[in-house]
Amino acid sequence: MRKIFFLLLFCGFGLVLKAQVATISSEASLLQPYINRYQADKSMFARKYIIKSADEYFLRMQRFYTDWLAQLKAVPFAKLSTNERVDYLLLKRDISADQRNLEISKKELDANKYLLPFTSVIIDFEQKRRVGKQQDGALAASNFEKLIEEINAASKAIDNGKLTLSFTQATWAKETIDQYAMAFSEAFKFYDGYDPQFTKATKTMYPKVLDAVKQYKLSLEKVLKQAPPADDGSGIVGRPIGKAAFINSLKDEMIAYTPEQIAAIAQKEFAWCDAEMAKATREMGFGNDWKAALEKVKNAYPPLGKQPELVYELANEAIDFVERQKLIAVPALAKEGWRMRMLTPQEQRFAPFFLGGESVLIAYPTEDMSDEEKMMTLRGNNRHFSRAVVFHELIPGHNLQFFMQNRYKPYRKVFSTPFWSEGWSLYWEMLLWDNNFAKTPEDKIGMLFWRMHRCARIIFSTKYHLGEWTPKQCIDFLVQRVGFERANAEAEVRRSFTGSYDPLYQIAYMLGGLQFRALHKEFVQSGKMSNINFHDRILKENCMPVEMVRALLLNQTLTENYSANWKFAGDVK
């Protein structure tokens, strides 16, 4: 009897396991090996070719992208499932975007290579090193002498004005010479001490080459100091990308709106926020003075040292809320696994509020801050602002996203886009508002502050990159229109334009949130799916442009030359 029981148990377990494997197999994509291989191949070339600003690299990578597009063309698109067609289109988009960016970089090199008239010696030296060719020491020393003379001549030409260049060109040259210096050092160390004849002949030349490079960079520094880009007084100097690049980026992100239409969408959302802010302000007894109501909210910060305890409390409150409302199923391990850490003072110069993901990162005063800085940090991270954003960073926001990304279709992580990642978390701010997560008018103002912030991000980012606003105008807009503390507004703009963010990153919060909200209306409010099934499906498909999420949910018939056409915010003039 005992044997029969265990046999049945084993068979039952086997059937369950087999069913699970079948489910996983049915989700497999013919394109997964292509996606993995493309990333691996691209990474290999990035390692192999140290010097990216060189004709050799551009010729090889152009052939690489052309070959990959040909490989993709050979895939029988008509036989692919919707799931596989999504992967096909996203991989094709990535290859095409990489190819376009390569062409832009090549044009930049062609226009500026006269600023680096000494690179042929380094290129030849590095190419021989790459194949392990023994280099004659005497000839190498002679070449290094020539290299030093050419670099010094270029430095003098810049110093005496014979070699003219703009701030942008000087910046490019400084970044590019670092590539060549790194390649030269790596090649030299490959031989030095290993080949006696090379070592003896070139030992004294190596530091002289590096000194010449250093002097050349100092000459470039003089240009940068003499002709800096216009500073509007904010001290923030970024690089607006211009309208053509902005439109191309929207196309890559599968956003079927123009920059002007995006700004109009933000203004429409701003109007909704204004109306709700007015209601909450009246509920608090401040009449029409929303800034006075906001001031009261800002001063509701916990005693010094208590912010981490508040974050822990708010995180669990949000988890309990979404589970009680049956909005999403949160895996037990996800609830167990999140962590906290404090942002350093330097980090807070760029991130004055919470950040999050695998951990929630807390912005809070430190002992070496001025009293004014401490107060701005406290006010900018008050109880009600924090209550409106902790779940954005943790669960059901970024932390849950990362948890699921690592477990379901992880090969799609390469299609990461802020319209999916930030849009998802912003969408939850909207959904929790709709489900009455805000208990008090103060809570509402806390949530509205962030929503207005995301509207403002669309407006100031778009205007900046189209060349219509300066950083200072962006800062003033955040202070006057959203009620930011000035130091926090400066940090926000600094982060937007001088951090490592993609130019479209800041607009992705609200636009991505509106995309997910439109999906929720189409699939959940219509009765086609439950909240739990809807959210579970999105997370298990992993990251991608939200229009492709919609295609999967609809099981849409996609064409090989598909382009974005979803008007998730309706028709906008």
Element (H, E) at 342: strand 339-342
Q: State the Cα–Cα distance between residues 38 and 195, nearest whole angstrom.
A: 37
Residues 6+ apart with CB under 8 A from 263: 458, 459, 462, 463
Q: Is residue 410 located within the same domain as residue 549? A: yes
Within a domain: residue 315?
A: yes
Query: How many percent of the chain have pLDDT more than 70?
Result: 92
Q: State the Cα–Cα distance between residues 180 and 161, nearest whole angstrom.
A: 24
Q: What is the pLDDT of residues 362-403, one digit of tens each?
A: 777 776 777 777 777 777 778 888 888 889 989 999 999 999
- Asked if pLDDT for residue 346 goes beyond 80, the answer is no
* Maximum alpha-carbon separation in the chain: 98
Give the per-residue pLDDT at 308. Answer: 81
What does DSSP say about strands 355-356 and 359-362: parallel, antiparallel, or unpaired?
antiparallel
Q: Helix, strand, or coil here: 57?
A: helix
Within a domain: residue 566?
A: no
Alpha helix (H) residue ranges in 362-417:
371-380, 383-387, 390-393, 398-405
Cis peptide bond N-terminal to 396, omega within 30: yes
Mean pLDDT over all residues of the chain? 90
Yes or no: say if 223 and 387 are a contact pair by the CB < 8 Å rule: no
Q: State the Cα–Cα distance between residues 536 and 330, nearest whole angstrom.
A: 9
CA 93 → CA 137, 412, 548, distances in Å?
48, 13, 12
Instruction: Give me the domain span that covers residue 399.
Output: 245-554
Within a domain: residue 404?
A: yes
Within a domain: residue 163?
A: yes
At which of 56, 90, 112 does a domain end? 112
Count CB neighbours of 160 within 10 A.
8
Q: What is the pLDDT of residues 133-170, one digit of tens each?
A: 999 999 999 999 999 999 999 999 999 988 888 888 99
Q: What is the pLDDT of residues 186-213, one digit of tens each?
A: 999 999 999 999 999 999 999 999 999 9
DSSP annotation string for 86-105: HHHHHHHHHHHHHHHHHHHH
Q: Helix, strand, or coil here: 356?
A: strand
Q: Is residue 477 located within the same domain as residue 332? A: yes
Q: What backbone phi and psi angles, to 5 degrees, belong to 202?
A: -115, -5
Long-range contacts for 267-275 (Cβ within 8 Å, ≥24 apart)?
A: 267/455, 267/459, 268/569, 269/451, 269/455, 269/510, 269/514, 270/452, 270/455, 270/456, 270/459, 270/481, 273/448, 273/451, 273/452, 273/455
Within a domain: residue 1?
A: no
Within a domain: residue 540?
A: yes
* Rounded mean pLDDT, 411-429: 97
Considering only CA atoms, which of 434, 488, 415 is closest in space to residue 456?
A: 488
Q: What is the pLDDT of residues 442-495, one digit of tens each?
A: 999 999 999 999 999 999 999 999 999 999 999 999 999 998 888 888 988 988
Q: Is residue 213 located within the same domain as residue 251? A: no
Confidence of residue 1 (pLDDT cuts 50, 70, 90): very low
Give the per-residue pLDDT at 351. Answer: 63
Give the per-residue pLDDT at 178. Answer: 95
Q: Is residue 187 located within the same domain as residue 99? A: no
Q: Is residue 406 located within the same domain as residue 290? A: yes
Confidence of residue 352 (pLDDT cuts 50, 70, 90): low
Q: Is residue 76 located within the same domain as residue 203? A: no
Yes or no: say if 369 and 345 are a contact pair by the CB < 8 Å rule: yes
Q: Is residue 221 located within the same domain as residue 326? A: no
Q: What is the pLDDT of residues 247-300, one digit of tens each?
A: 999 999 999 999 999 999 999 999 999 999 999 999 999 999 999 999 999 888
Within a domain: residue 237?
A: no
Q: Is residue 410 located within the same domain as residue 351? A: yes
CA angle (266 as vertex; 261, 270 as ends), nearest 5: 145
User: What is the number of structural domains in the chain?
Assistant: 3
pTM (whole model) above 0.75: yes
Within a domain: residue 10?
A: no
Tokens of 93: 């988009």
Running DSSP on this structure, what letter comes out for residue 301? P
At which of 168, 191, 226 does a domain end? 226
Q: State the Cα–Cα distance between residues 352 and 453, nearest whole angstrom.
A: 13
At which of 112, 147, 175 does a domain end? 112
Q: Is residue 293 located within the same domain as residue 200? A: no
Give the per-residue pLDDT at 238. Answer: 82
The interaxial angle of helices 418-434 and 441-465, nearest 10 deg, is 150
- Asked if pLDDT for residue 4 goes beyond 80, the answer is no
Separation of CA 108 from chain center: 24
Q: Is residue 265 located within the same domain as residue 360? A: yes
Q: State the Cα–Cα distance between residues 388 and 452, nearest whole angstrom.
A: 12
Q: Is residue 49 located within the same domain as residue 107? A: yes
Q: Is residue 351 located within the same domain as residue 442? A: yes
Confidence of residue 528 (pLDDT cuts 50, 70, 90): very high
The position carrying tokens 């701005």 is 376
Tokens of 284: 């608090």
